[in-house]
Structure 1
Amino acid sequence: MKKVSRFFVVFYILAVAIAYYIILPPMNWHAPEFWEFAVFTLGPALVILILYSFAKRNIQLNGDNFVNNLFHRNRMQQVHLTKEDQLWAKVNKLCIVVLVVIFLFPFVSFALSSRLLHAKEYAQRIDVKDVGFNEIPEVDFTKTPIIDRDSSVRLGDKVMGNMTEWVSQFDVSNEYTQISYKDSVYRVTPLTYNGFIKYFKNRKEGIPAYITVDSTNGKTKLVKLKDLGLDGMKYVPSAYFNKKLTRHLRFSYPFEIFGSPSFEIDEKGHPWYICTTYTYKGVGNKKKVTGAIFLDPITGKSKKYDAGKIPKWADRVYPESMIVQELDDNGSLKNGFFNSVIGQDGVIVTSEGYNYLEKDGDIWLYTGITSANADESNIGFVLVNMRTHEAMRIKTAGANETSAMKSAESEVKNYGYQSTFPLLINIKGNPVYLMSLKDNGLIKMYATVSATDYQKVATVYSDEGLDALVKKTLNVLGTSDEISEESLKSATIKVSDVQRLNVEGNTLYYILADDGNAYKIAFSTKYENQLAFLKAGDTLKIRYIDADGVKTIKSIEEEKSVK
C-alpha cells in the first residue's frame, strides 16, 4: 500500500510540474490564472485525500455519524479514535478548508474589489487633463501614420514572398506594432518559425530578420539581422521548449503578472520584446501597470523597469485595450456605479475605435469621446501616451468617426471604396479627420473630413499625394494654406472662356482671360451669383495668388458685368 501511495505522490508531482511547464501561471495571488491553476491541479488531489481519509477512518457517509466524525463534535465517540484516525481527521478538515478557499476566495475577492463598491476609485485610475486643440501639433506627413495595419500586413506579406530562400522556412508575425522610429512612424513585425519541424531545422541560427513598414508612405523593408552585425533571435513566441519567449520570461520572473510581449526595435534597429507587468486590486480587478520587462530575443537577457522609468525609445507599454477601458471607467463611473447603468447623468464613453498619433517622439493612442446615448457626434477627443500614461482631453464638439467615415465614402460611392478608421490631425488650426479609402484592401484615395462639420469633405487620389489633399482641404474649409494679405494680387479680367469640371464631387471653374492668363476657383456659395452663369465677355474684379505657375482666385470683389 505504501508503494502505491508513493507512486501516486510521485505521479502527482510530475503531473503538476508538466502542467506548470505548459500553462505557466504567475505565482501571484492577484492573478486569476494562479487560482485557476490551483483549482486544476490542487482541487483533484484534495478531493482524493478527503475520500481516502474517509476510507481510512471507515466513516459512514450519511446522517449524524458523518457530521460528528467530521467535526469531532461527539466527544464520547472521539475517545475511541486511534492516533491515526485523529491524524486523518485533521487532514480531512484541512483539505476541506483548502478546497473551499481555492474555490471561493477568488470570487469573494473579485466581488469585494469590483466597480460596484469602488466606482470612483476606478474612475480615477487615469488622470485626464483638459487641454486646447493646439496641443495637437500641425500635421507633418513625415510623421503621420496614413498606412493602416491591414495595408501594412499586405505589404509585409508581399516583401516576404520575394524572399525565396526563407518563404518556406518562416512566416510573418501578425504583430505589426506601431512605433516611433528615426523621427518617423513605422510598423514593425518579426518573422516566425513555420511549424515544429522548421523550428528544429533553424533553431541554432534563430529568426534571421524582421520587417519594417513606413506608415507614412508604405515603403517596406526586410531587415536582416546579420546586416546589423547581430545573430538571429532565439527567444521568440514561436519557439518551443525553454526558448519559447513566454516560458523563458516565466522562469525568470515566476511571481510577475505580465501580458502578451510586444515586438519593438530601438533607434539602432536592435530587436526587443517589451512585456508589460501588472498587478490587480484583489483578484483580477482594476488592472494596473507596474512596469515592463525588456527582453533581448538574441541573447535571452532581460531587465525589468518600473513604471515611469521606461526608456524613451520604447513606445507600447500601456496596451490599447487597457487604455480604452480606463477611459470608459473615467467617463462613466465618476458619479457612481448605479449612475453609469441607470441614470447615466454626465456619462461619456470612448468611440468605436482608435488610432495612433506621433507626438514628441512618442506614440499616442487617439480616440473620440461621446455621450452614453451613442449619437452621431463626439464631444471631444482623448490622447494617451502609450509609454508614460499621460492623458489629454480636447473638448472639440463635432461628428464622430463613424459619421466621418460614411461621409468620406459617400463622396466616392460610385467606386464603392471603404474608409479606414480616421486619424485626427491639425491643419492650420482646424481639427480634421484623415483617412484612406480602399478597394479590396488597396489604398486608392485619401480623404479629409472636417471634425466640426462632416459635410466638408476633400478627396484626392493616392498618387496625387497628401500635400495636394491639404490644399484641397483648406479650400473646402474656406481657409488658405500659404496666403497672407501681402501675397494676394488684384486684377480686373475679361472672361474669354470658362470651363466647369467636377473633380471628386467638387466643382472647379477654369477661367481663360482675354489677355491669355488662366485662373481657377472652387465653387462656393459665397460667390454663387458671380459664378453660376459666368460666360465669355463677363468682367470680374478678383484677388488671386500666383503660386507654382497656377493662378488661383481667392476672392471676387465685384459683381460681374454682362456684356
Structure 2
Amino acid sequence: MKKRIIPMILTVLLWAGMYYYYLPPLNIHSHDSWMFIITILVMGIIINFWTIFRVVFLDRTSPERAANKKVIKKLLLVPVALALFYVGGTLLSSPILRASSYNKLLAVESSDFAADIHEVDYNKIPILDSTSAAKLAEREMGSMVDMVSQYEVSAYFNQINYQNKPVRVTPLRYGDLIKWLTNRNTGIPAYIQIDMTSQNVDLVKLEQGIRYSPFEHFGRNLYRYLRFRYPNAMIRSTNFEIDENGVPYWICSVEDKTIGLFGGTDIKGAIVVNATTGEHSYYDIADVPRWIDKVYDANLLIEQYDYYGTLKKGYINSIFGQRECLQSTEGYNYIALDDDVWVYTGVTSIGGDESNVGFVLMNSRTKETKYYQISGAKEISAMSSAEGQIQHLGYTATFPILLNIAKEPTYFLSLKDGAGLVKKYAMVNIQKYQIVATGDTVAECEKVYRNLMAGNGISNVNTDKAAKVSGVISMMKDIVTEGNSYYYLMLEGSNELFEVEVKNYLGILKKQVGDTVSLEYVAESSGVNVVIGLE
C-alpha cells in the first residue's frame, strides 16, 4: 500500500509546485492551461510508472487485476484524448476556417489626415525611442551613488501621456537576490521618468516603496499575486504607468478568445494594481479609466489590422490571388493625440511594394482605428534617406513618427550616434520623399524642411502664417551653414531680419544694397523672418 501512496503524494506535491511556479490560468481558452494539464498528467504517469506497470503486467494473482487494468488503460488515454481535442480546437479556431471572423476583429474607419492630426507642437514631439531612453536612464542611475549599489533600471520603458506630455516611465528593480532580501521590507524606492521632448531624466522617489512587481518573489510577485486573486484571467501584457499624481500602477491586460477555442485574441478588460499598496480592481474594456494609456499592446493591434487587411476576400485569396490585400509595414511607433497614445504604422500592398498606400492610427486604450489613404515612401526608405543626408557622421535613424507640417504628412526621425544618444533630427515628406531636411534642433530642422517644401513648389507651406513686405535693401550679408548658403537682409525703415536660402531663391544673387525687393515670409520664434517668396 505504501508503495502506491508515496508516488501519489509525490505526484500531488509536484503538481502543486509546478502550478505555483508556472501560474497557468484556469481557463479552457488558454494554450498555457492545456499545455500545463497535459504536462502534469504525463509527469504523473512517469512518477507512477512502476505502480502502473506492476498492476498491468506483474500482479497476475490480484482478484481486482482485470478491473484495475481497465481503469488504468482509460486513464492513460486521457492525455491522448486531451492532445487530440487541443489539436482539433486549434484547427477549428484558425484563420484557415474562420477568415471572415478574423477579418471582423478590428473596425477600421477611413479618416482625414489634416482634420485629425493637427499642426505639430514641438513641446509634444517624442524624440526618444526605448533604446535611447534606456541609455539616459542608465546614466542617471549611475549618478545616484546611494541607489546604484542596490538597484538597477528595469526594462519596463512604457510611453504614456503624463500631464499632457509624452514621457517614458520605468521602475527600478533589485540588483540581485541578496539585495532583494535586504531591501524587500521597504520595497523599490523610486521610478525613473524621462521627458521625451526635452530628454530630461528624473528619479522620482516614493514615500512608500513599490512592493508589488515582477521583480518580487513569493506572494508579492505581481504575477503570483494576481493569479491567486484572478485564477481564470489570461493576462496578456503588463505595463507600468503612473496616474496624474505620479502614483505608480501596473496595468495588466486581460486577454479573451473570441473565435472558437483558441482564436480571435482580443482584450476584454484590465486589472489595475497599485504598485505600492497592492490594491487592485478589474475594469471591463469600456470602463478603463482615461488616465490609463495602454491596454492593447502594439503587436496585438497590428496583428488584428493584418487580419483585416489580408482576409477581406478569404484565406485562399490571402495566400494565392492576394486581390485587395493590405498589410502593415516593418515597424511601428507611438503618437500622442488628445491625451491618448496611438500606435502608428504604415500600410502597404502585399507583393513586395516599395511604397505605402496609407497608414493607420490605433488607440492603445480603446482600439479605435483610423485609416488615412496617403501614398508615399515606406518608413524604412525614409530612414535610409535621412541617414544618407548625414552618412559622413554614421548616425542611425529611429523608426519615424507621423507629423502634420503645413498640412503635409511628414516623417519625423531622430538620428542617434554610436552610443545611442540623439544628436540630430530629420524630416522627410511622405509623398515627395526626395525632400529631406536635417537639423541640430527640431526647430532648425523644421525651418529647413519648410524651405525645401517651398522650393519644391508645395504651395500650402506656411500660407496660413505668411506675410508680405516690400522695400529697399539697406543691409545684405551672406553666411554658409552646414554647406547651405543664406542671405540675411534688412529693409530701410525696419529692424526686421529676413533669411533667404540661396538654392531655393537664386534671384537673390542679382540683388544688392539699394535695390527694391518684395518678400513673402514667415516669422519664426527666433526673431528671424524666413523668406518663402521673392520678387
Question: Does 1:118 pair with 2:95?
Answer: no
Q: What's 1:190 paired with?
A: 171
Match of 1:399 in 2: 377
Alpha-carbon offset, residue 551 of structure 1: 5.0
In the alignment, which of 216, 231, 244 is matched to residue 239 of structure 1?
Answer: 216
5 Å matches for 1:351-370?
Answer: 351-370=329-348
Task: Quote the Cα distance in structure 2 between the aligned partners of 1:318 and 1:553.
Answer: 45
Partner residue, 2:357: 379
TM alignment of 1:274-423, pairs within 5 A? 274-280=251-257, 281-423=259-401
Identity of aligned residues (%): 37
User: 1:542 touches 1:554 (CA, 8 Å); kept in 2?
Assistant: no
Contact 1:168 1:194 in 2 (8 A): yes
| Partner Cα separation in structure 1 for residue 179 and residue 143 of structure 2 | 19
Give how far 1:83 is off: 6.1
Shift of 1:297: 2.0
**Alpha-carbon deviation of 1:448?**
0.8
Please give the alpha-carbon distance, in whole angstroms, between the structure 2 residues aligned to 1:551 and 1:102. 74
Amino acid at match of 1:285: G
Q: Name the counterpart of 1:139.
A: 120
Q: Deviations over 1:531-555 (max 9, x none)?
A: 5x63658956322448465454433
CA distance in 2, matches of 1:29, 1:40: 15
Report the aligned-residue RMSD: 2.6
Paired with 1:13 and 1:252, the residues of 2 have a C-alpha distance of: 22
How far the C-alpha of 1:97 sits from its partner, in A, is 2.9
1: CA distance, partners of 2:239 / 2:191: 13
Give the deviation of 1:428 after TM superposition.
2.3
Report the CA distance between 1:185 and its aligned residue: 0.9
8 Å contact 1:460–1:504 — kept in the other structure?
Answer: no
Residue correspondences, number: 524
Distance 2:527 2:274 in 1: 54
Local SS of the residue matching 1:165? helix
- Secondary structure (helix, strand or coil) at the match of 1:299 reads coil
CA-to-aligned-CA distance 1:114-149 (integer Å, 9 cap, x gap)? 010011211110111000002112212222211221
Residue 74 (structure 2) pairs with residue 94 (structure 1): yes
* 1:41 positional shift: 1.0
Structure 2: tracts of 5 or more residues without a match: 455-459
Larger radius of gyration: 1
Q: Name the CA distance, whole Å, in 1 between partners of 2:119 and 2:492.
A: 41
Secondary structure, in 3 states, of the residue corresponding to 1:445? strand
Partners of 1:52 and 1:491 lie apart in 2 by 105
Residues 7 and 47 of structure 2 are in contact (CA less than 8 Å); yes or no, is this contact kept in structure 1? no
Structure 1 residues 292 and 356 mapped into 2: Cα distance closer, same or farther (>3 Å)?
same
CA gap of 1:484–1:112, structure 2 versus 1, over 3 A, is closer
Structure-1 residue corresponding to 2:457: none
Q: Which amino acid aligns with 1:339?
A: N
The match for 1:257 is 234
Cα offsets for 1:217-252 (capped at 9, x unmatched): 1111001111xxxx1111111111111111111111
- CA-CA distance at 1:54 after TM superposition: 5.7
- Pairwise mapping of residues 37-186 of structure 1 onto structure 2 (< 5 A)? 37-46=36-45, 52-53=51-52, 55-58=54-57, 84-133=64-113, 134-186=115-167
Which residue of structure 2 aligns with residue 439 of structure 1? 417
Q: Aligned partners of 1:192 and 1:284: how far apart in 2?
A: 34
Residue 59 of structure 1 deviates from its aligned partner by 7.9
Partners of 1:19 and 1:415 in 2: how far apart? 53
Bigger mean CA deviation after superposition, 187-196 or 30-39: 30-39
1:405, 1:420 within 8 Å by CA — same for their partners in 2? yes
Change (3 A) 1:20 1:546: closer
Structure 2 residue 474 is matched with structure 1 residue 474: no
Q: 1:255 corresponds to which letter in structure 2?
A: N
Q: Deviations over 1:84-105 (max 9, x none)?
A: 2343143134213312122222
Unaligned stretches of 5+ residues in structure 1 = 61-79, 558-563
> Quick check: 2:476–2:487 contact (8 Å CA) kept in 1?
no
Deviation at 1:275, TM superposition (A): 0.7
Alpha-carbon distance between aligned partners in 2 of 1:265 and 1:354, rounded to the nearest angstrom = 23
1:513 offset after TM fit, Å? 7.7
Question: Residues 3 and 408 from structure 1, CA distance in 2 versus in 1: closer, same or farther, beyond 3 angstroms?
Answer: same
Work out whether 1:206 is the aligned partner of 2:205.
Answer: no
C-alpha spacing 1:49/1:283, structure 2 compared with 1 (3 Å): farther
Measure how far apart 1:381 and its partner are: 1.0
* Secondary structure at 1:45 match in 2: helix
Taking structure 1 as the reference length, what is the TM-score of the superposition? Answer: 0.87
Q: Deviations over 1:456-509 (max 9, x none)?
A: 1121113xxx23333332222115437656x31113549x866363x3464434
Separation in structure 2 between the aligned mates of residue 206 and residue 142 of structure 1, nearest angstrom: 34
Q: Secondary structure at the match of 2:451?
A: helix
SS in 1 for 2:399: coil
Match of 1:252, SS state, is coil
Contact 1:412 1:504 in 2 (8 A): no
State the one-letter code of the partner of 1:396.
I
Distance 2:371 2:81 in 1: 44
CA contact 2:238–2:253 (8 Å) conserved in 1 = yes
Distance 1:287 1:413 in 2: 43
Q: In structure 2, do the counterparts of structure 1 residues 18 and 57 end up closer, same or farther at CA, with 3 Å as the change threshold?
A: closer
Amino acid in the other structure paired with 1:150: T
2:519 maps to amino acid: R
Aligned residues of 1:423 and 1:433 also touching (Cα < 8 A): yes
- Sort the Cα spacing of 1:254 and 1:460 in 2 relative to 1 into closer, same or farther, 3 A: same
The answer on 1:461 being equivalent to 2:449 is no
Q: Would you say the 8 A contact 1:459–1:504 is kept in 2?
A: no
Q: Check 1:44–1:180 CA distance in 2 against 1; reply closer, same or farther (3 A cut).
A: same
Task: Report the more deviating stretch, 422-431 or 36-45.
Answer: 36-45
1:380 and 1:370 mapped to 2: Cα distance? 7
- Partners of 2:513 and 2:247 in 1: how far apart? 68
Residues 1:542 and 2:518 are matched in the alignment:
yes
- Say which SS state the counterpart of residue 125 (structure 1) adopts: coil
Which amino acid counterpart does residue 364 of structure 1 have in structure 2? W
Mapped to 2, the partners of 1:271 and 1:178 lie a distance apart of 14
Alpha-carbon spacing, 1:46–1:399, altered in 2? closer, same or farther (3 Å): same
Name the SS of the counterpart of 2:72 in structure 1.
helix
In 2, Cα distance between equivalents of 1:204 and 1:82: 59
Cα distance in 2 for residues equivalent to 1:415 and 1:400? 23
Distance in 2 between residues matched to 1:235 and 1:484, nearest whole Å: 52
Q: Specify the alignment match of 2:35 in structure 1.
A: 36
Cα distance in structure 2, aligned partners of 1:8 and 1:515: 101
Of 219, 227, 231, which aligns to 2:200? 219
The alpha-carbon deviation at position 350 of structure 1 amounts to: 0.7
**Aligned pair in 2 of structure 1 residues 552, 244: CA closer, same or farther (>3 Å)?**
closer
> Could you tell me whether the CA contact under 8 Å between 2:11 and 2:47 is conserved in 1?
no
SS of corresponding position for 2:240: strand
- Select 1:448's aligned residue among 383, 402, 427: 427
Question: Would you say the 8 A contact 1:123–1:330 is kept in 2?
Answer: yes
